[in-house]
Chains A and B, each alone.
Chain A
């Protein structure tokens, strides 16, 4: 095995779990998520000689997000209803199985772009400028998309709650296609 291949194997072992987890959040289906993560790694390997000296993880992440958001083979995306299910009462959301399941279902109610922004911002912890670059949109679009997504998810921010609800209601009533 060449040195480059050895490096890729090491990279894939280290990153595949996190990429698959992100894909699951983006898609909501574990099998499709595993396929998407694998596809991202395939394309990363195909470009390995070019990206191995750069930020290979950023490359793989970008491929993954683009693959999912562009995914013409993603029938699940059409299931997005814009209606976030009721959150289970009680318990610590981060620790509860029910809470985890609710979060996946809630993400499924978002449009692909909203979902991608949430995952890039709060799973990968990317700043808004980096999210804009990865999604090839403006920072303003990232801000507004993020605001709508958080409103739908009923996440408390420093904005007034009433505004968040209004924005969420407006977006839902438009029936925005995912």
Chain B
């Protein structure tokens, strides 16, 4: 038996090996990214309403797209799939900029979709857009869930950007997503040594930007991919950039 004072002393004793120091600069960069996401989501309700109105006026035919085929059960669609013919919505910060991309992931509240949104954050002058993961219900109404954007340098520097780990928002698990700037024909991650291919679609506003996501159906239960890689059409490895998934 030990007494409470001994327990307190034991808990407060320094670990045998020193713990690593926190990289405060990295903390602040991630914090800015999270802060931008929160700002975007703060006006998500208005965006949902605007999207609903626009969808109604544009008709719903552009909403209905089949889930992309997955040859062999694990290989995702190529970069040519699945992009929706977008209404010509102006960038309003929350409105989709370009096509809304269906992911084929259907959850409570509708299908998960990805779309670009405008970003105007003074602290990141080289960043003009980010990616929103939202949901579209049966009536074509968009609900913003979580947005992510680059937080340093240029939003179109070659490599991965704004990678957001799978996260729970309002009780709904949104998949890991992000975008790649460059001619990525194949994007993959690794789970326990197993290569998992991401699903992807080119951004209608700039074909040099590839939106991607990992369908939970392609992943071992509860696992998240790491070590993201991108390859061009010839199978050559492309620059990685910031492939670290943000959390929170």
Q: Does B234 contact A (CB under 8 A)?
A: no
Interface string of A7-43 (1 = CB under 8 A from B): 0110011001100110011000011011001110111
Q: Does A136 contact B (CB under 8 A)?
A: no
Contact A30 B15 (CB under 8 A): yes
Write the nearest CB–CB distance from B4 to chain A, whole angstroms: 6
Contact A16 B22 (CB under 8 A): yes
Contacts of B7 in A (CB 8 A): 103, 118, 122, 150, 153, 155
How far is it, in angstroms, between the C-alpha of A37 and the C-alpha of B31 when the chains are bound? Answer: 13
Contacts of A12 in B (CB 8 A): 22, 24, 27
Contacts of A72 in B (CB 8 A): 168, 222
A16-B21, A30-B17, A122-B11 known; A46+B35 contact, CB < 8 A: yes
| Nearest neighbor of B224 in chain A, beta-carbon distance | A73
Q: Does B8 contact A (CB under 8 A)?
A: yes
Contact A93 B22 (CB under 8 A): no
Contact of A42 among B6, B8, B11, B30 (CB under 8 A): B30
A43-B31, A43-B248, A46-B34 known; A34+B15 contact, CB < 8 A: no
Interface residues of B in 32-49 (CB under 8 A from A): 32, 34-35, 38
User: Mind listing 16 A-B residue pairs with CB under 8 Å?
Assistant: A9-B28, A16-B22, A17-B19, A30-B19, A31-B20, A41-B31, A46-B248, A72-B168, A87-B2, A94-B9, A100-B16, A103-B10, A119-B11, A122-B4, A154-B2, A155-B2
Contact A94 B22 (CB under 8 A): no
Contact B248 A39 (CB under 8 A): yes
How far is it, in angstroms, between the C-alpha of A30 and the C-alpha of B20 when the chains are bound? Answer: 8
Contact A38 B8 (CB under 8 A): no
Contacts of A93 in B (CB 8 A): 2, 6, 9-10
Contact of A24 among B19, B35, B224, B247 (CB under 8 A): B19
| Nearest neighbor of A75 in chain B, beta-carbon distance | B222
Q: Does B170 contact A (CB under 8 A)?
A: no
The list of the 9 closest CB pairs from A to B, nearest first, reads: A45-B31, A94-B9, A46-B34, A16-B22, A42-B30, A156-B1, A123-B11, A46-B31, A46-B35
How far is it, in angstroms, between the C-alpha of A159 and the C-alpha of B119 when the chains are bound? Answer: 59
| Nearest neighbor of B36 in chain A, beta-carbon distance | A46
Q: Does B26 contact A (CB under 8 A)?
A: yes
Contacts of A123 in B (CB 8 A): 8, 11-12
Q: Does B64 contact A (CB under 8 A)?
A: no
Contact A94 B10 (CB under 8 A): yes
16 A-B pairs besides A16-B24, A72-B222, A94-B6 with CB distance below 8 A are: A9-B28, A16-B21, A20-B22, A34-B20, A41-B24, A42-B27, A45-B32, A73-B224, A93-B6, A104-B15, A123-B8, A123-B11, A153-B7, A154-B1, A155-B1, A157-B4
Contact A41 B27 (CB under 8 A): yes
Q: Does B3 contact A (CB under 8 A)?
A: yes
Contact of B22 among A41, A103, A122, A150 (CB under 8 A): A41
How far is it, in angstroms, between the C-alpha of A161 and the C-alpha of B3 when the chains are bound? Answer: 12
Interface residues of B in 56-101 (CB under 8 A from A): none
Contact A37 B11 (CB under 8 A): no
Contact B1 A5 (CB under 8 A): no
A30-B20, A38-B23 known; A99+B10 contact, CB < 8 A: yes
How far is it, in angstroms, between the C-alpha of A144 and the C-alpha of B172 when the chains are bound? Answer: 32
Contact of A20 among B19, B247, B248 (CB under 8 A): B19
Write the nearest CB–CB distance from A119 to chain B, whole angstroms: 7
Write the nearest CB–CB distance from B200 to chain A, whole angstroms: 24
Contacts of A166 in B (CB 8 A): none
